Amino acid sequence: MSLESVKAHFKQWHRDVDVMEFDTSSATVELAAEALGVIPARIAKTLSFRGDGEQAILIVAAGDTKINNKKFRDTFGFKARMLNPDEVLEQTGHAIGGVCPFGLENNLDVYLDVSMKRFETLFPACGSSNSAIELTTEEIFHYSLAKEWVDVCKGWEEADEVNEKFALKNYDK
């Protein structure tokens, strides 16, 4: 049902036909990158955190990042605590491995991390563990109804050089 809710969400922009489904799992950043033939950093992962109230908040970030706890606390005013798998499903309507900011069960606040802005397009999941869609950062912002861009991740600046070498080695042959 989760994949269907995402397709229904994209239908309003006639983008439901752009949702890709794979024969293999894309449930992790690495598996998604392999299924798509892109570097892991270009996978737009959606992370679910306990919000300030009962509702969760979602952070969409590049696949090569980790949450910087200090930046998160400074930005949101509370400690970064991820939801457990049951809470993720309850809050988003999507199971771990297919979590995305589209077709959500609840009206959650979505924030996009600046780590994604270095790419022309990225690949977020589409509600299942074997789906994705290619979108620009502007499209991700628009389609996810994001509140704003934030800077709450770490590791991606240092990873750029590694990713570039990885891309040259594996995909630019």
List the domains of the chain with CATH numbers.
Answer: 2-170 (3.90.960.10)
Q: What is the mean pLDDT of residues 31-47?
A: 97
Which pLDDT score, from 0 to 100, does residue 170 have? 56
For the chain, give the mean pLDDT.
92
Instruction: For residue 53, name the pLDDT band (cuts at 50, 70, 90).
Output: confident
Count of CB atoms within 10 A of residue 53's CB? 7
Which pLDDT score, from 0 to 100, does residue 104 have? 97
Q: How far is Cα 42 from Cα 78, in angstroms, rounded to an integer?
A: 28
Q: What is the mean pLDDT of residues 93-111?
A: 96
